[in-house]
Amino acid sequence: MASHRKWSPTGTRIAGIRTPALATAALTSVALLSQTANAAPSADSKPSIEEVEKKVDDLYHQAEAATEKYNATREKTAQQRKRVDSLLDDVAQRTEKLNTARDELGSFAAAQYRTGASAPDTATLLLADNPQDYFDQTQLMSRLTSRQKVAVDDYITEQAATTKKRAEASQSLQTLTTTQSALRTSKADVQRKLAEARDLLSKLTADEKARLAAIEKKKQEAADRKAAELAQQQAAAEKKAQEAAARQQTTTGTTATNGTTGSSATDSSYTAKADKALAFARAQVGKPYVWGATGPGSYDCSGLTQAAWKTAGVDLPRTTWDQVNVGTTVPLSDIKPGDLVFFYDDISHVGLYVGNGMMIHAPKPGAYVREESIFYGGESIIHSVVRPA
């Protein structure tokens, strides 16, 4: 969080002088008057443009972290809802089978009544809380035919299974309710952070907004310089590698491909997939950032990378926290087009690397999908680089 300058009163301090009580009172009055005057609102009590810029950036970062939490909770909610639906369907089917078994036992009870057999025993069975205990305490089974025994067994089995599934469905419903509550909390947290950022920006004067834009421009220029430096370093490294391969070929008289064929094939396969992901991402440039969105009209950061790599046949998880664990982590110096670049210690942002130190990403609320330097917030916020395929 940004630190705001906090006004503290200052007054004349007389050290080493003993003053009469009246003089002391007078000095105290002057000090109080001075404090009262200084306590009035002043321009100095207002945060600087740099502090506002830092505060807004922090709020957007917090909002994005809350968005990833929202995404994770929403995905979990969807999974739990599917489980609840499946359990309820199972309970309904089992209940229907249980009713069928009960009807069949009822028909046996009616037949026993008509023939003067032990109808009360079977009727009691239908009302028993635990049919198995009932059978253990009676000799009813010895008086049943084979067909009746099968019907009774089916009834006992279905009642036990139905009771178990009903308990599972009840527990899943409780879990779903808890997750839905967490989802609402995450959503409110995102909205609160965004509202606070908008409020700060709305209070800026036209001159302050111009100064803020100038700060952002300087940051962008610095980021672009860093991107160019990375591109130059990678180009120099590639040239050096090619020269080394050429020297080896001249020395041995053969093409230096032995042992590297598999690696080349892998690189070629990755490049083909990355090209598809990048083509999709470029087509989304200009679409708005909307937190929680996965396309096609809008995206958040992880929604964009997930959708882009899906076109290449690679299924990425929904959140940045899970996407960072898919694939292979590589050093920044070895970054290639198509790689995922993750940001901040909490891994709350991600972009798709396009080459030359640049990436395509959905930056933040109020912005649009765009191509930008991976150093847009400074090199220190880059968490890791992951090759997802």
> Which residue is it, tokens 């009932």?
134
- Clarify whether 361 is annotated catalytic: yes
Phi-psi region of 295 (alpha: psi -120 to 50; beta: other; left: phi over 0): left
- Clarify whether 61 is annotated catalytic: no
Give the active site residue among 4, 61, 349, 383. 349
Residue 384: which of 338, 339, 318 has the closest Cα? 339
How far is it, in rounded angstroms, from Cα 263 to Cα 357?
Answer: 24
**Alpha helices of the chain — where are they, by DSSP H?**
21-38, 49-115, 119-127, 131-136, 146-202, 206-252, 261-283, 301-310, 320-323
Dihedral of the CA atoms 169, 175, 181, 182 (nearest 10)? -150
How far is it, in rounded angstroms, from Cα 267 to Cα 389?
Answer: 10
How far is it, in rounded angstroms, from Cα 119 to Cα 168?
Answer: 35
Give the active site residue among 4, 61, 301, 383. 301
Question: Cα separations (Å) of 351 from 10, 275, 320, 384?
Answer: 49, 15, 10, 11
- Clarify whether 4 is annotated catalytic: no
Residues making up the chain, counted from first to last: 389
* 167: amino acid identity, one letter: A
> Which residue is it, tokens 């370093």?
233
Residue 178: which of 80, 97, 32, 39 has the closest Cα? 80
DSSP letters of 229-266?
HHHHHHHHHHHHHHHHHHHHHHHHSS-TTTTTHHHHHH
Q: Which residues have a catalytic role annotated?
A: 301, 349, 361
